[in-house]
Amino acid sequence: MLRELQQRLMQQQTLIDAQQRQIDRLVQMVEGSRSSAPSSAAPASTASNSAVAPAPAVNPPAVNPPSTPVVASRFEGIKLTLGGSLRTTLMTTSARAQPDGSPFFLLPKVPGVPQGSTKLDARPSSILLGIDGLRTGDYQAGGLLVFNMNNGDLFSPGYGLTPVLALAELRNASERYAIGLQEDVFSPRMPKMVDTISALAGSGNPGNSTRTQLRAERYITLGDRDRLTLVVAAADSTSSNIKPQTSTENVGFPNLESRVLWSAGGTDASAWVPGNDYELGASGVVGRFRTFSASGAFSAFKTDMWGVSLDGRWRLSRQFAVQGELFTGSALGAYLGGVFQTVNPTTQRPVRASGGWGEAMWYWQPTLHTHMGYGVDKPRSGNLFPGAFSRNETGFLNLIWDPSAHAQYAVEATWRRTRYEGLPRNQGLGLMLSSELRF
């Protein structure tokens, strides 16, 4: 009897340990790989014929290991972990923002039209399902499913389940291979904002969308605490969650993305600011797509797309760190660059753009922190048509409180200014309140 009880206790402890490792891996995948969270996207505005906009970023859940499996698999040896977040935001703005619940830009100022709006929203909520499969030699099989609580159109008040990540992988300590819906390899760094849906997209922060990929990663240890990460991917050239206003299609070749990341110093248990001491990354993307008019308004034409990005992060003390990113490229609308614009359909020229963002963070306590940042995206005026975005910029200041792993409360003030070719510009202030319960 005693022996049987001991065996049961050992089995239960083994299960708890395995689930804890799975939970830690999921949080690292969703949070660490982007320094914040992944996102998806949907149409942006009628102000530009090629505008697009991203959908909500995933806010990774923090959970404690249960004593029994959360979800049972129909196959023996497959472990499933269910997580998610229930999040409600209140957004109020002094100018006409688009969309009103999580603005990416401001609409042109129209004389006589009232400015400002207030939006109460729960669409930033998310559901996560992690999968740990069987071992194949030195590799561990697994997968990840993440859904956001919106219907794929940020300009609709409706709710639904939009897939953000849906991938299968093989991994070990030095390599990872994955296939499925994944984060962009290009320009993945992300500011720590309360507004995780926009997160400076269209204001100097490209990438951070998701698309179907074939992906390979290699981790090389340098010394005792440094690591070099190499990533290459063949990605779908026409992302299903970023929809340009003009009709586009692939030309038979995937986009090619790559990234090199140097992580120095490792993590410090005594530091309140999480993450490595230093990080320096470089990424790039090349591709081609075809633009056509369903009504025959213009002849179909091909466009070469490319982009390069430099990003970095530096923890200067236990409580203070800075991070940021710079980019330049052409026809980057599908990667949230160029204020979501790809081509000028009149001249058939790609929209060239450059921009970037920077952020400073201060941790008052390990659970109470402030983030302040600014980003700007500047398309070249010679590539634009009347009514197109000519400049978009955003500044933010927030206070985030994490009283436990299960909850977060935050407030964020923003300033935005958007300029157009031939239309009145607009600028204004915003205030967002957020309450989140994680499971």
| Residue listed under structure tokens 């009504």 | 295
What whole-number distance in Å separates Cα of residue 145 and Cα of residue 181?
A: 9
pLDDT band at 56 (very low <50, low <70, confident <90, very high): very low
Six token digits for residue 234: 């063949």
| CA 13 vs CA 18, 71, 219, 398: distances in Å | 9, 18, 31, 41
Using one digit for the tens of pLDDT, what is the confidence trace for 24-52? 555 555 444 434 333 333 333 333 333 33
β-pair partners for 40: 55
What whole-number distance in Å separates Cα of residue 91 and Cα of residue 396?
A: 14
Most confident of 126-135, 264-273, 355-364: 355-364
| Residue listed under structure tokens 């056509």 | 292
Question: By CB neighbour count within 10 A (0-12 exposed, 13-18 middle, 19+ buried), where does 220 fall?
Answer: exposed
Return left, alpha or beta for 103; rule: phi > 0 is left, psi -120 to 50 is alpha, else beta: beta
State residue 22's pLDDT score. Answer: 53
| CA 199 vs CA 118, 162, 216, 219, 254: distances in Å | 19, 18, 27, 28, 27
The amino acid at residue 282 is: A
**How many helices (H) and strands (E) would you count in the chain?**
1, 24
Average pLDDT of the chain is: 84
Coil/strand/helix, residue 271: coil
Stretch 196-225: mean pLDDT, rounded? 92
CB 253 within 8 A of CB 305: no
Tell me the CATH number at 243: 2.40.160.10
Give the strand pairing for 175-183 and 210-222: antiparallel
Is 12 or 272 the better-scoring residue by pLDDT? 272
Number of domains in the chain: 1
The amino acid at residue 316 is: L
State residue 33's pLDDT score. Answer: 41
Output b/e per residue, 300-317; b: 16+ Cβ within 10 A: eeebebbbebbbbbbbee
What whole-number distance in Å separates Cα of residue 210 and Cα of residue 317?
A: 33
What whole-number distance in Å separates Cα of residue 335 and Cα of residue 361?
A: 26
- pLDDT greater than 50 at residue 57: no
Using one digit for the tens of pLDDT, what is the confidence trace for 173-184? 999 999 999 999
CB 143 within 8 A of CB 109: no
What whole-number distance in Å separates Cα of residue 284 and Cα of residue 215?
A: 14
Output b/e per residue, 353-379; b: 16+ Cβ within 10 A: bbbbbbbebebeeeeebebbbbbbbbb
Six token digits for residue 47: 């102000």
Give the strand pairing for 247-250 and 255-267: unpaired
In order, the DSSP letters of 341-378 are --EETTTTEE-EEEEEEEEEEEEEETTEEEEEEEEEEE
Among 124-128, 158-162, 167-171, 307-311, the range scoring the smallest mean pLDDT is 158-162
Q: What is the pTM of this model?
A: 0.83
Phi, psi of 21 (to 5 degrees): -65, -40
- pLDDT greater than 70 at residue 23: no
**Domain span at 14:** 2-438
Closest CA to 292 of 281, 284, 303, 283: 303
